[in-house]
Copies of this chain bind each other. A is one copy, B any other.
Amino acid sequence: MTSREAILLLERFRAGQVGRDDVLRAFQAAPTADLGFAKVDLQRALRKNFPEVIFGSGKTPAQVAAIAMRLAKAEKRLLVTRIGKEHAQMLRRKLRPIKYHELARCVTYEKARLQKRRGVIAIVAAGTSDLPVAEEAAVTADIMGNTIERIYDVGVAGLHRLLSRLDSIQKANVIVAVAGMEGALPSVIAGLVSKPVIAVPTSIGYGASFGGLAALLAMLNSCGSGLTVVNIDNGFGAGYAASQINALATGELE
């Protein structure tokens, strides 16, 4: 309820058109649908410009499908993350048209093909093993209405591979830089561009990588200006933030 709607409501109350209990309820309303095992947030799209994203990890295929179907009644686009093949098959039976992104472990649903924003989000990944995380970022930003450019396998151990793609990177409005192991890629990119760089550490590595901690610390300590960081393996979060920035950049909030 916006401030404007609140004023209207109060006037209607004064005019005797709504009762006192309705006013109180409106000021305290819980805009959620209760499925028993979960409360579905039906006003998220109003607050955040995108419907509630379904985090599939730890939920059964049936639970994921139930939440998705409830949201699909109200929304034109959906995103389900961190799921496996079984979840995707269940969703396909219940909801059309969906797309299963196997590498990204995501399902997207788009009632009708939406137009994409013109500004580009570059998703840059250091190694082949980082692709699942990079793809989660790409799928997220794509379903949120952005044009994506994928620039993969350009880790700093072979600098020429990165430099040969520099032009594309510099043209993007925002760059998502994904790397495991020593996590140096975002630092190098941030030194070469003037746009926001969102760094995603991955859990790729072994030994003193400590499940991505080494890459995370490297990114947090980057000497490159304008770099911000998300959680280890959090491709979704990076894609989401990149979309918010690109929406600002293009002035196309929806």
Query: Which residues of A are in contact with B by a Cβ distance under 8 Å?
Result: 3, 6-7, 10-11, 13-14, 20, 23-24, 27-32, 37-39, 41, 43-44, 47-50, 53, 57-59, 63, 126-129, 131, 152-161, 163-165, 167, 173-174, 181-184, 187-188, 190-196, 198, 201, 203-234, 236-238, 240-241, 244-245, 248-249, 251, 253
Contact = CB atoms under 8 A, between A and B. Distances in A.
Given A13-B13, A47-B193, A208-B232, 15 more contacts: A7-B20, A11-B20, A27-B27, A32-B158, A126-B223, A159-B191, A196-B241, A196-B248, A207-B212, A207-B220, A208-B220, A215-B221, A217-B217, A226-B244, A248-B249
Given A208-B231, A226-B244, A23 B38 contact: no
Contacts of A211: 207
Contacts of A157: 187, 190-191, 222-225
A5 to B, nearest CB: 12
Contacts of A32: 158, 160-161
Contact of A29 (B13, B43, B164): B164
B220 A230 contact: yes
A145 to B, nearest CB: 13
A248 B208 contact: no
B232 A206 contact: yes
A236 B231 CA distance: 21
A187 B204 CA distance: 16
